[in-house]
Each structure stands twice: as C-alpha cells, then as structure tokens.
Amino acid sequence: MKLTSIFPLALALLSLSACGGGGPSHQPTEKYFLIATNTKIPYWQEAGAGLLKAARELGVQAEMVGPDAYDPQAEREEFRRTVAKKPAGILVSPGDPQILKPEIDAAVAAGIPVVTIDSDAPQSQRLFFVGTNNYQAGLMGGRLAAKLLNGKGNVVFYTIPAQENLQERLRGYRAAFEGSPGIKVAEIIAMNGDARIAFDKTSELVTKKAPVDAFIALEALSGSEIADVLERNKVEGKLIIAMDTTGSTPDWIEKGRIAATIAQKPFTMGYYGLKAVAEVALRKPASLTVNFATDPRSPLPVYIDTGVFLVDKTNVASLRAAK
C-alpha cells in the first residue's frame, strides 16, 4: 500500500539544530520514504498522517510504502526498491530486524540516512530510533495486570515474535511479574500481524475452557479480537489489556471488555521521524557510518522517545475528544 504527499514549502515546527538565513534549505525535489509492514491497519495510517503533515511543513515529498500484511520478506524487497530510487532519506519499521540489517547497512554506506521508527534494528547501522520505550511500556502494562489480578493468575500473550519492539514489551511484562510469583505465563500466541489468528486462537481457548485469567496484546490488533470473542461467548471475569488506541479498542474500553490499553503515538513517530531524518539529510555529516552512539560530540541522538500512556475508562472520553 502507498500513501504519498508533495506539498509547497512551509515553516518547519521542529529542527534538530538552529539554522541561519544563509544555511541550506529543503527542496521540493527531495523525497523521503516510510517503509513498514501491515500498512493498511489504522496504526500505520496514523503514522502516515504524521509523515504527510511533516512533509507539508518541510515542502518535501513523502511516501509510505510496504506490504499490506505482516511480511518481512516483502518489506525487504520494498526496501531494496526504495534504495534504488536514491531517496533523500528513509524511515523504516523493521518487521524482522535480522532480515533488514544488511539492507539498512548498505543504504547507510551508500550515503542514505536511515532512521528506524516504531520497531528498531539496533544491531544495524541505522542512525537512531524514534518511538516508544517498549520495555517501559511493558512494565506499565505488567504492573497494571499484576494489580488487577491481585498477584495471581494465568496469562496469555499475543505477539509478533520477530519484532524487536514486541520482544522488549514482553521483557517489560515479565520483569513486572517477577514481584508476583503467582502470575504464570500460560501461552504466548504468535499472531504475526494477522487479526484472524488472534480471533481464532482466542476462540479455541474459550471453547476448551482453558484456565486463562488474563489476555494481553503486545500489538495493536489482538485486543479488539479478544474482546469480540469474549463478548460473543458471554465470557465474564477475564482481564484484557490491549496495545494502542486505534480501531475499535476505545469502544471496547467504554463497554468494559478491555480494562486498559497502552497508548503509543504513531502520528508523532511519523511526524518527528520525517523531521529528524530530513534534518540529517540537510546537514549530512561527513560520514554516516561512524559510531555516533559512542561519540560524546555526536550531532545525532541514539533514541527519541515519543511517549506512552495508559488509557482506561477514566480517560477514554478525553482521548476521543483529542482526536
């Protein structure tokens, strides 16, 4: 799926460094790409909206590309096609960081700035990461789950195993559960970006009356599917903690099916990500392959935290009003 934008020059709201009147400026011929998987889901549409807003303000071209489903191999092919176009810069959310590492490294070696958003590839030569502190997001959800479970119960997770960000969230949950030995991880379901798998696996658990006390989604799609299954089967007394506020998740919170969700800011990731990579392209260092992480005078950060917050019945209405 593609989402494109080309707009006239506008005043940039953000800049990684101050610029004088005689400094370099962006040109309307500059083109930047955001590459992701599952680009049709509301989460990525939000990120795409942020990308296009930043493009309007900078007066550059921007396009979101990538497979409509979770498909790391297809994402790699899209990345290769994008590099061949010699863009001014690339934002990428790696579906599988190991698969994309050689491609990211080659792009950076060729002088194309690459910044990861949402999901990181920390072993690659990407310049820095823009997104959620996913370990802290997991801690936030885990502490809430432990409290609502009164420190005991069987938990099922839904995840995409290859993604770095979801691995970090799971580590955060496990760390939070260390203080509650009565909480057991009964199963980790690899839903792999497919809402149908989340629905079907939950239906199986309900049908066989599995002793599950809490269902926890580490990604944006599963929470609503779990809630739908429990609603259809009139299953009560189960805890659901979701991830993100896109789709019907806020509806299920209002209905009381989902206790809470950990809200990220995909719009901000797309918006700030483009501003950041465009700033690098405008004031490109002599080399993009040096180790900026260990340089005390580096012009680049290692990580930009876009924030995370908890949404439940007490504040879901204000969330809707803000949108």
| Ramachandran region, residue 311 (left: φ > 0; alpha: ψ -120 to 50; beta: rest) | beta
Name the E strands within 128-167: 129-131, 152-159
What per-residue confidence (pLDDT) applies to 24? 86
Name residue 184's beta-bridge partners. Answer: 154
What per-residue confidence (pLDDT) applies to 286? 87
What per-residue confidence (pLDDT) applies to 1? 47
- Whether the pLDDT of residue 124 is over 50: the answer is yes
Q: Give the other-Cβ count within 10 Å of 235's Cβ.
A: 15
Distance of CA 196 to the CA centre of its chain: 20
Global confidence as pTM: 0.89
Burial class from Cβ neighbours inside 10 Å (0-12, 13-18, 19+) for residue 306 reads buried
Q: What's the CA angle centered on 67, arms 48 and 224, to 5 degrees?
A: 70
Round to whole Å and give the CA distance between 102 and 277. 20
What per-residue confidence (pLDDT) applies to 23? 72
- Whether the pLDDT of residue 16 is over 60: the answer is no
| Lowest-confidence segment of 19-28, 72-81, 173-182, 237-246 by average pLDDT | 19-28
Confidence of residue 15 (pLDDT cuts 50, 70, 90): very low
- Give pLDDT tens digits for 29-87: 999 999 999 999 999 999 999 999 999 999 999 999 999 999 999 999 999 999 999 99
Mean pLDDT to the nearest integer, 107-117? 98
Nearest to 58 by CA among 88, 86, 28: 28
**Which CATH topology does 134-263 take?**
Rossmann fold (3.40.50)
- Whether the pLDDT of residue 290 is over 70: the answer is yes
* Mean per-residue pLDDT of the chain: 93
What per-residue confidence (pLDDT) applies to 235? 98
Round to whole Å and give the CA distance between 112 and 81. 13
- Whether the pLDDT of residue 3 is over 80: the answer is no
What per-residue confidence (pLDDT) applies to 22? 59
- Whether the pLDDT of residue 4 is over 80: the answer is no
Mean pLDDT to the nearest integer, 204-231? 98
- Are the folds of 3-131+266-306 and 134-263 the same? yes
What per-residue confidence (pLDDT) applies to 9? 28
Where exactly are the structural domains of the chain?
A: 3-131+266-306, 134-263
Pairing of strands 152-159, 129-131: unpaired
Element (H, E) at 78: helix 72-84
Round to whole Å and give the CA distance between 306 and 280. 18
Confidence of residue 7 (pLDDT cuts 50, 70, 90): very low
| Lowest-confidence segment of 10-24, 114-128, 178-192, 196-210 by average pLDDT | 10-24
DSSP designation for 91: E
- Whether the pLDDT of residue 153 is over 90: the answer is yes
Round to whole Å and give the CA distance between 314 and 316. 6
**Which CATH topology does 3-131+266-306 take?**
Rossmann fold (3.40.50)
Nearest to 14 by CA among 238, 211, 301, 264: 301
What per-residue confidence (pLDDT) applies to 79? 99
Tell me if 226 sits within 8 A of 219, measured CB to CB: no
Nearest to 230 by CA among 244, 245, 210, 247: 210
